[in-house]
Structure 1
Amino acid sequence: MKKILIAVCGSLILSSCTWVKVTSNGESVRLVQSARTVESCKKLGQVTAKVESKIVFNRDTEKVADELADLARNEAALMGGDTIAPVSEINDGRRSFSVYQCFPARTQ
């Protein structure tokens, strides 16, 4: 019984952790929910992010959504994008996002 309790507690702790971190470049990418927001933007492509949605128990839906968005922001930054918008629902820990460039590219 003690082993089961330890396993359950450990699972709950792990399921509440955030494993994905936004990179410094990813921090400059914004997430929008409305297609109207990106009407005047240049579409650069699409990314699909995946995280574990279940570790013994189903993970918190909001945490999974946040991690998927963080991964997509990181990938969008690598593509030269500054904005992402979800194009699918979360399914089995996966979600697709369109990547846009809405602001003039910065010169360095």
Structure 2
Amino acid sequence: MPMIPKSSALALVCLAVAGCTAWVDLKPQGQGVRILTERDVRTCKRIGHVTSTTTASVAYLPRDDESVQEELRRLSRNYAGAMGGNAIVPTGPAANGEQSFNVYHCHP
């Protein structure tokens, strides 16, 4: 069995972790929260605002943008559900592991 230098093994672990998407679970209160556009929520009531933050890099290595984005969405859906919202709309793009969303309650 070949020996792997410690620095190489550490680098492999960091690369594997950098792509992980399972760091944030969607909680039951977030499952009913949809991600919509401003146009979709014209008849909804805005009930608040959330800013979500997650780790954008691991051991100085940037994480996959899609993984970070998915975690931000899950966190925001969880927060919105806890506030009584059932929809979120991003107020801008994600940057450095942070993104803000307006929270709405829309009638069916």
**One fold, TM greater than 0.5?**
yes
Residue deviations 1:44-90, cap 9 Å, x none?
Answer: 01000000000121101011001000000000001100000110221
Offset of 1:103 from its aligned partner? 2.1
Q: How many residues of Structure 1 are paired with residues of Structure 2 in the alignment?
A: 103
TM-score (norm 2): 0.90
Unaligned runs of 5+ in 1: none
Aligned to 2:13: 10
Separation in 1, partners of 2:103, 2:29: 14
Aligned to 1:44: 47
Offset of 1:42 from its aligned partner? 0.3
Percent sequence identity over aligned pairs: 36
TM-score (norm 1): 0.90
Aligned to 1:91: 95
Give the CA RMSD over aligned residues.
1.2
Separation in 1, partners of 2:81, 2:23: 19
SS of 2:28's equivalent in the other structure is coil
Aligned to 1:59: 63
